[in-house]
Structure 1
Amino acid sequence: LSRFGRNAADTLKSLAIMESHGVNLICVDDGLDSSKDSGKLVITILSAVAEMERENIISQAMEGRRQKARAGQWNGGFAPVGYSLVNGQLQVNQEEAESVKMIFDLFANSDMGTIAIAKHLANLDIKKPIRHNSTLPYFSSSGIARILDNPVYNGKIAFGRRESTRDKISGETKVIQSENYILTDGIHEAIIDDEIWNKVRKKREANAHKYKRENPSKGDSIYILSGLIKCPLCHAGLYGNKSIKRNK
């Protein structure tokens, strides 16, 4: 039964859909039969208990990750560009680190933004290492922005910068930026020194204030061909967006 739904609400909703089609839920291991009144009551109780246990496991796992972050250790997952994972810890990958240094230097000491830097690296045929399931050969502007904003390159470990929230009614999951997150000195070697890092931070914050990005809802989007037109270089779907200057 614990595998039937994410929580009690999901379980009961799915059960109602099944019963509307004349199908009953029978759990052999738990000895449950939704066609019986007692079975429905027990299913409701056990699904609530399973939800509590699941939330408790998630809470304990998250606390373990927080403690690891406070100790300055990498929290798992793929290593960011510029680093390799050795025995679960970050070590500088010298070849990749050169690309990271170039990205920070271009942004800090030139008029290039993330789009211009992405084009510049592509023109130099500087490819990004493959991470996750990505097959795109070159750095994207959004990828460069993530690099510029990642404190791991300044020798820090950040945890909890983004939080996922799930609407219990619609089931929709949203990712939001968190202001209260862990930021501590990491045990790994920094690629970017404080001077360049702070210079980049000031420019990023100034740009964020200068431009206000509009994100219309899907129903109001004026870019009806988003995702249909493909980039001939990387084959990714093209999309549009607006930026409004607040002041010059």
Structure 2
Amino acid sequence: MRNTQVEILQATKPLPNGRGRRRAGVQIDRIRVAAYCRVSTDGDEQLGSFASQKAYYEDKIRENPQWALAGIFADEAITGTKADKRPGFQEMIQRCMNGEIDMILTKSISRFARNTLDTLNYVRMLTNQRIPIIFEKENINTMDMNGELLLTIMSSLAQQEVESLSGNVKMGVKMKMKRGELVGFNGCFGYDYHPEDKSLTVNEKEAEIVRFMYDMYIQGYGSTTIAKRLTEMEIKNKRGVVRWDGGSVMGILTNEKYKGDILQGKTFTLDPISKRRLDNRGEEEQYYIRDHHEPIVSREIWDRVAAIHSERVKTKVIPTTGNRERYTRQFAFSSMLECGYCGHKLSRRTRHQTTVTKKPVWQCMNATKNGIESCPHCKAIDEVIIEGAFLEAFRLLTDNFDDVLDSVLHTIEEVLNDDTELKRVKQLEKEINNVESRKSRLTDLLIDGKIEQQAYEEKNNSFLRKLHKLTEEKAYLEENIGQQKNVSKRMAQLRKTLENEETMDEFDRVVFESIVEKVIVGGYDEDGNPTPYKLTFILKCDQNLNIMDAKADYKANHKKERVS
């Protein structure tokens, strides 16, 4: 092997602090030093400390002749557990990656980050760029041999401190909730929130709008229709903007605050590092405060809206097809008419009588969507014919009102007095409110531009699936619940009308819904021939009233009226 003599050329100018920077082959004699400081709360004392930190680093860097100030980067009143939420920190890192900073000074590891993973990731990122971080309190230089070992130990302690502090704060919040204090609430539409004593008072101007929403919903309008009406009326929301959608309206209609109650603990923070908030499904305690503040709507109205909502979101399986149909109550006959041939519901349509007048008709949805060959025997039936047929069926009750009406009233009273089912319904309402609140907040995020449309749709669909599962169970329990006091009153009036043998001259939706479970449209005569205008009224007392040819009866009665 050939002997090789190696000449060692000694270094004559070591890099300052072990890591100087070169640019375009020219040695930079002064190190560009940046400082990072942060305070985690917005209290006066902390913000004073924040100003002191900035002044301290400005003086320290300027006093060192080998250093050049590259900037003071700071974040005020922002937690250190999430680095991506600190704009000052992110700007500093970006400038480091752009080659504009040679070294970073910071007070301590807890000021830099309280997340061990974030700390190590950013330290290694900057180490690869040959940029040291000096932690003054711990006396750690990340470019030293033992720097990362010490850093791992110290940052783990900092993270443990955060977790311990978070646990103490969480316990304190729970104690406040147990005492009945309002926690984490900043107000809602219809109420004014007073942070000095954490009380709620009714904002009468907004409260009138809330009552208007509840009234419209009870009358049969959907949340989207109500939102459009509010927009047309130029009603401003709590943010002072004319912007309404079905989700925000539904959030008001299902919020327990409007009946005077408060449910706290609807969500919880999974951990203090990720700060991910989850819907509380029993993982944490919840605290329900009844009669906490002045209600805007009565409990009866609130419960009525809840019952209608559960019916509207309920889907029913058609035995003959296995398809699912959604329940709606926009019109008196919505979801009440069932095809006697295929089992599908009938939907409402309008047809032109003349060039200027229209008439509403009801037709089998199977034939409408899939063609008349899907249900060849069905016919579209005028709404006035169905109303007239109900009046005729009502007249039949006058001959035997005692048995029928007593049975109906008895059924309603049993449902209203069923405490077991009501308790389960209230429990389900809480769970539904949790999902609705999250869904409403998701809509607010979309409106404020804080979430992309695709992410919104994915999450919103997830919420809808949860709501469907909960409301199906709730709807099953409420099938015979939710009959309001006004229904009982109308039934009492009905009894009086029948006892006096008075007839009902005009169709009454309340009377119809109180007596009738559903109406079968179409059927067969005694010879097995299809009779598309046969109407069978299924009463809530398990009795049936048949009108064999509603169209013919209507025409006959209409003719008599014209003659007379």
* TM-score bracket for this pair, using the shorter chain length: 0.7 to 0.9
> Equivalent residue for 1:219?
none
TM-score, length-normalised on structure 1? 0.73
> Equivalent residue for 2:150?
42
Which of the residues 186, 211, 221 maps onto 1:101? 211
RCO higher in structure (CA 8 A, sep ≥6)? 1
AA aligned to 1:161 is K
> Structure 1 53/167 Cα, relative in aligned 2: closer, same or farther at 3 Å?
closer
Q: What SS does structure 1 have at the residue aligned with 2:127? A: helix
AA aligned to 1:95 is K
AA aligned to 1:52 is Q
Structure with greater proportional helix content: 2
Which of the residues 107, 120, 123 maps onto 1:15? 123
Cα deviation for residue 156 of structure 1 reads 1.9
AA aligned to 1:89 is S
> Structure 1 76/122 Cα, relative in aligned 2: closer, same or farther at 3 Å?
same
- Cα deviation, 1:174-213, whole Å, max 9, x if unaligned, reads 55322223322253222222112222222333444447xx
**1:9 & 1:77 partners in 2: Cα distance?**
32
Q: Which has the larger radius of gyration?
A: 2
Q: What SS does structure 1 have at the residue aligned with 2:192? A: strand
> Structure 1 200/58 Cα, relative in aligned 2: closer, same or farther at 3 Å?
farther
> Equivalent residue for 2:236?
127
AA aligned to 2:220 is D
Q: Given that residues 72 and 185 in structure 1 are in contact (C-alpha distance below 8 angstroms), is that contact kept between their aligned partners in structure 2? A: no
Quote the sequence identity (%). Answer: 24
Q: What SS does structure 2 have at the residue aligned with 1:22? A: coil
> Equivalent residue for 2:304?
199
Does residue 1:5 correspond to 2:104, yes or no?
Answer: no
Q: What SS does structure 2 have at the residue aligned with 1:127? A: coil
Cα deviation for residue 113 of structure 1 reads 1.8
Runs of 4+ displaced beyond 6 Å: 242-247
Q: Given that residues 72 and 186 in structure 1 are in contact (C-alpha distance below 8 angstroms), is that contact kept between their aligned partners in structure 2? A: no
AA aligned to 1:3 is R
> Structure 1 239/5 Cα, relative in aligned 2: closer, same or farther at 3 Å?
closer
Which of the residues 166, 169, 192 maps onto 1:84? 192
Gaps of 5+ in 1: 212-230
- Cα deviation, 1:201-235, whole Å, max 9, x if unaligned, reads 22333444447xxxxxxxxxxxxxxxxxxx9xx99
Q: Given that residues 69 and 157 in structure 1 are in contact (C-alpha distance below 8 angstroms), is that contact kept between their aligned partners in structure 2? A: no
Q: Given that residues 231 and 242 in structure 2 are in contact (C-alpha distance below 8 angstroms), is that contact kept between their aligned partners in structure 1? A: no
Gaps of 5+ in 2: 1-108, 316-325, 327-446, 473-564
Q: What SS does structure 2 have at the residue aligned with 1:3? A: helix
> Structure 1 92/67 Cα, relative in aligned 2: closer, same or farther at 3 Å?
farther
AA aligned to 1:20 is N
Which of the residues 12, 18, 25 maps onto 2:133? 25
Alignment of 1:39-188 (within 5 A): 39-86=147-194, 87=196, 88-107=198-217, 109-130=218-239, 136-165=241-270, 175-180=277-282, 181-185=286-290, 187-188=292-293
Cα deviation for residue 115 of structure 1 reads 1.0
Q: Given that residues 73 and 157 in structure 1 are in contact (C-alpha distance below 8 angstroms), is that contact kept between their aligned partners in structure 2? A: no
Q: What SS does structure 2 have at the residue aligned with 1:37? A: coil
Cα deviation for residue 80 of structure 1 reads 1.0
TM-score, length-normalised on structure 2? 0.35
AA aligned to 1:45 is I
Q: What SS does structure 1 have at the residue aligned with 2:281? A: coil
Give the length in aligned residue pairs: 218
Cα deviation for residue 43 of structure 1 reads 1.4
Q: What SS does structure 1 have at the residue aligned with 2:201? A: strand
AA aligned to 1:96 is E
**1:196 & 1:238 partners in 2: Cα distance?**
36
**2:263 & 2:191 partners in 1: Cα distance?**
16
